[in-house]
Chains A and B, each alone.
Chain A
Amino acid sequence: MREPRILCVDPEVDAQAATASTLKAGFKHHGAVIKTESELEAAIERLAGEHLDCVVTELELPDGSGLDLVKAIRKESPDTGCLIYTDASLDRVESVLGGDTEVLEVLSKTAPEAETQLIDIVERIVADRVQSSYPVPEDEAARLDALDSYDFEQAAIKPALDRATSLLSQHLDVSAASINLVGSHDQQFYACQGPATEWGSTPREESICTFTILEDDGLLVIEDVQGDPRFAEVDRLEALGIRAYIGATLRTPSGEGIGTLCAYADEPRSFTSEERRFQRTLADLVMDLLEPYRETSAGPQREGEQ
């Protein structure tokens, strides 16, 4: 596990210190960064400024509730996990929070072995990403290590990859194409053609490529993005004019999917088998181009650098 960043929100000073200390001790081998806040607004502000893997919050805060905080997190930082860790009885939690569609994990501070359970739940949230709203590949940690083993900063490589996306958009007769790197929480548009040059990064939760890298055959085609239940609610895709998608996974020689080669159409459309073959072949070619920039000597053991 990379060093987890955890925020502990509790209005009671002693309780806050106790929870923070439990978390610190529980994650000492991972060098966890533990931050503390006492109020809802301060916690939300902190979320806006830095990445957090997990927020552990009391139920009742001076300026709102733990549920308000969870809702803010889901909206602003969907990859941050949440746990309501509370002094209140679960009946009280139920009466304050019940009836909502928000997904919550709740643990009572008075539960048997509460501190052990706290560590256990937070570890699963951080390491196994159990609160994510999208599937994460089983080899996610190895995949991220593989992604980090390429030196994408090397400027010499980028023009060649831009040309590959240009070739793809011409061949498929679409306006936008890109090579995307799928990181732990977002994807970067690394090489682009057409409007994709303006797209910046996309959270994993709103990215189609998150699903592409899970496909066994390495290719995902969405003929009508708005008609697909996984993406119909994602406003960003509609705003970018992505109505049809074809993506091929960029796989390392050892099989990890580090990103995708994609093309986007602004109208629903299908893709022929020849176009699909072309897409895969070009994705393989992109990986051939990237091979000299892979640092094989670094090995798989890499310390978190965040």
Chain B
Amino acid sequence: MNLEDERPYTFGDTLPVEGIRPGTTVFVAGPSMSSARDLALKIGLPEGPTEERSVLVSTGTGAEKLLRRCERVAPSVDPTSLAVIDASGRSSGDTRGARIETVSGPGDLTGMGIRLSKLYEAYHADGLERIRTGVISVSTLLMYVDVRTAFRFLHTLAGRIAAIGGLGIFYIDPTSHDTESTNMLTQLADGRIDVREAEERETAAELRVRGLADQSRRWTPFSLGQEAQ
């Protein structure tokens, strides 16, 4: 744990999201058919050739498909800097050198917690201190556990992320749940990025950041680049 490293986690030049300080957890909320999920993924991936690592907890998508999606939203990402905790129950296939940990299903919160500890420990032992952790997605998790159990899991995980000076990105599709569940869960994070799809096809999707310092609070158009289309 190198808590002296206060350099913010950054997201490239194209996204209208300023750097976020280590130890922070953010929800990305938007319909699953919008760019929200890809935005969450992009924010959760290491930026450029760096010493950063990412751990992605994948609840519904198999590791191979998730990694293809990663390459699409961030073509320069090095798969060997990624670890996937695959709870989808699907076979992994070609994982391009990414580290894969499999757990028995999206309800196996115990298994996920242990795998996360294991990966954080391994990175720490290798001197790697900058770790992004993505949960893609919380909505799938909620199909397997009740909202209070999900809250405890994510709250605990956010605490761990704060302890290691990491960055947490939890994706949720608010259209799949009642407002109470979404609001309750998002309260455990430091901030929230809402995504809405533009009404006109030719206009970009928009995002709005809440709860984080030094960010615009307005709806701002964004694009994940050509690869994401």
Contact = CB atoms under 8 A, between A and B. Distances in A.
Interface string A83-97: 000000011011001
Contacts of A108: 117, 121
B143 interface: no
B180 A94 contact: no
Q: What are the 6 tightest A-B residue pairs by CB atom distance, in nearest-first order?
A: A130-B159, A100-B110, A135-B187, A98-B111, A133-B152, A90-B118
A150 interface: no
Interface string B137-158: 0000000111111011101101
A104 B113 contact: yes
Interface in B94-151: 103-104, 107-111, 113-115, 117-118, 121, 124-125, 144-149, 151
Contacts, number: 123
A130 B159 CA distance: 6
Given A90-B117, A124-B159, A133 B149 contact: yes
Contact of A113 (B1, B110, B184, B187): B1
Determine which residue in B107, B177, B184 has the highest number of CB atoms from chain A within 10 A of its CB, and name it. Answer: B184
Interface in A38-73: 67
Contacts of B177: 229
B117 A105 contact: yes
Contacts of A100: 108-111
A144 interface: no
A205 B147 CA distance: 13
Contact of A135 (B104, B110, B113, B188): B188
Contact of B113 (A106, A211, A214): A106
Q: Please classify how large the interface on chain A is, using the bins under 10, 10 to 19, 20 to 34, 35 or more.
A: 35 or more
A190 interface: no
Q: Please classify how large the interface on chain B is, using the bins under 10, 10 to 19, 20 to 34, 35 or more.
A: 35 or more
A90 B114 contact: yes
B148 A101 contact: no
Determine which residue in A98, A101, A233 has the highest number of CB atoms from chain B within 10 A of its CB, and name it. Answer: A101
Nearest to A233: B146
Interface string A220-259: 0000000011100100000000000000000000000000
A76 interface: no
A132 interface: yes
Interface stretch (A28-36, A115-123, A172-180, A260-268): A115-123
Given A229-B180, A230-B181, A120 B1 contact: yes
A278 interface: no
A111 interface: yes
A128 interface: yes
A98 B159 contact: no
B160 interface: yes
Given A130-B158, A130-B159, A233-B148, A103 B113 contact: yes
21 contacts: A94-B111, A98-B111, A99-B108, A99-B111, A100-B111, A105-B117, A105-B156, A105-B160, A111-B124, A117-B163, A125-B159, A130-B155, A130-B162, A131-B159, A133-B148, A133-B149, A214-B187, A228-B178, A228-B180, A229-B146, A229-B177
